[in-house]
Chains A and B, each alone.
Chain A
Amino acid sequence: MTKGFIFSTDAVIGIATVIIVSLILTLPYSIEEGSEANISFIKQELPNKAMVAFYSNNTAEEIGLSSDNSDFNNFDYAECFVLYDYNYDSQTVYGQGTLNEKKFCMGKRALR
């Protein structure tokens, strides 16, 4: 009587190979999932910072932002928040006046 496939050396080598390959492929994934940070903090969102700067008469540079969307070479893109305020000095009795544009920009990195 022959041993049959299940008791053969080929079967042992085949199944052992499957187990080792499975472990190699799934172990890094398991470690990554297990060590992932469970608390996520998002700090200083652009609109909130811009509104506070606007109310307190601060420029974009004074709060660590930029007043234009250039010079962000180290980032993937720039995000800007623009607020418009009327010019108090040039307004007329009818309430008409020029508009002041206040731009607040920050560099962003794309999610990878």
Chain B
Amino acid sequence: MLARVTTEAALQFRQITRSFGAVRALRGVTFSVAAGEAHALVGENGAGKSTLLKILAGIVQPDAGEILWHGRRLHLDSPREALERGIGMVYQEMLSFPNLSVTGNIFAGRELTRGGRLRNAEMRERTTALLAELHLAVSPDAPADSLSAAHRQLLQVARALAFECEILVLDEPTTSLTDAETDHLFAVLERLKARGVTLLYVSHRIPEVFRLCDRITVLRDGAYVDTFERRSVSPERIVRAMVGRELPPRAVLTKEQRHEDQPPLLSIDGLGRRPWFNNVSLQVHAGEIVGLFGLVGSGRSELLETIFGLYRAEAGRVRVAGEPVNASSPREAARAGIALVPEERQRQGLLFNLTIRHNLVLPDRTIRGDLVVHTARERREAQDLVETWRIKTAGVEVPPDALSGGNQQKIVVAKWLATSPRVLLLDEPTKGVDVGAKFEIHEIIRQEASRGAACLVASSDLPEVLAIADRIVVMREGRIQGQLAGADATEEAVMQLATHEIAS
């Protein structure tokens, strides 16, 4: 049942402009969201979507322009105000309080009180009702850190819904969700649509956008491009509007280019570390890109971290170019030519108290064991990297906090590539990254492979794995379930391996 889509605009952005130092994040963006519709906002990283959402949430103030809410000017000074106006935000980054219960999380900062005392019973009741409505099978008293990442994401949605909201704004909500969980979420969103709730949906995943939304607005480089009716536009058209250019077809490497005639560059035999993974054996040849696919809990990240020396394996061996590598720290692994682009770029990949230059040259200088910092030389190298990888930044002498997610990710990748690793490990390299940057990063990986590196890409994004990998290794619950290559590597086959027990 389609919702009543009126032409009356519920939310209007008018000439919104915002700069951060020299970076112009938004340039006179104007568009409107109709009441009761599901409206998608898409764009590359650096297009300005996050900034626009921050302005809507009251976290950042626009330099110029205004937001109209039902025709009246909206002046938001804080997230609390946004909430009180009925704007519910569901964020990408996991903002839950691990030490609080589900109820506590939902009401954190907005607890129900009577004369200063908490109305625990009432909050619990409302939480239970909310969980039922969302079909979330968790207890309202469960501590948040006992929930899976996917459930924590749904918790964010619940948090936004706990209070009457007229418009629900979702920022990449399905990043950590499986297909099943995404379906669940979409079912909830459809129900909300039917109730008349307006949805503003920001995502890089074009299929999802087409599934849920009525209209699609595209931003590019901080400016408004166009708004399309979903029914009358194709996904390719959208991508073209986002990227501004045609994307090159994906190259397929020949066997020779994949160096399969030579011994493998990375060789893992019987590697195990309980309870994360057990008896893992795989090989990657020079020039090969192996995709490591598995759902949440399959042990992919732990495997990569162990190879990189963050943890000691309990059993098994790792060999690089035939030489055994027994790395007991990332430092040793890096010296042996292994590089890891970690999953959480903010927590594991970037130093926000140092400049972009420092971040970019750090692994290289640390491995080389230099004593002194040569500023001029480093600055040149950093600027080269920024140019080569098209990292959008005002300069290299600023900290990376003003950069968009995709550009931050590029820094994490670039800094390791500068060390010319023999083995490149990547954990969810395009998580939270837009389509354009995603393709760029995939190109980067292919270039490294063609230079002779062995690449192992762990990802729960099936389309990505299918697109980039020469061979797909599937993991489930800490074990290798199987390998697929060439024509055998279909979505169904991979998912089958990832979700079902293989009779051995």
**Are both chains from one complex?**
no
A residues near B, CB below 8 A? none
* B residues with CB within 8 A of A: none
